[in-house]
Amino acid sequence: MYILLAVIAGIIAYSLFNFFYQKRVIKTLSEEEFREGYRKAQLIDVREPNEFDEGHVLGARNIPLSQLRTRMKEIRPDQPVYLYCQSGLRSGRAGQMLYRKGYRNLNHLQGGFKKWTGKVKAKK
């Protein structure tokens, strides 16, 4: 019984730590705030290529989270980075990875692409 409570407490503590750590590392922007700044930044879609091809924010580059470690050099650390994924989970993880490598001006779209109402480009 005590082991189960300890495991549950550990999971809750870990979740809270990640939640507050992510808030410090990457700024979560509303769609309006995201629109105001993404054209002057590096816009990165961290979804997988098949998701990207189905539709993405106009002007975005596709660097999937699964390839981020090997393709990180494609992102300049001296310029703002705007990240998004389908829901916000993967872009949060991507922001944490980039932060650990020295990137500081990190932002992501609250609610992800599924909440985006702006211009979208899809592969035909």
Q: Would you name the residues annotated as active-site residues?
A: 85
The CB density around residue 33, as the number of other CB atoms within 10 Å, is 14
Q: Minimal CA–CA distance to 91: which of 115, 105, 111?
A: 111
Helix, strand, coil shares, percent, the chain, to 5: 50, 15, 30
| Cβ-based neighbours of 60, under 8 Å, separated by 6 or more | 43, 44, 45, 52, 84
Cα separation, 68 vs 33, in Å, equals 25
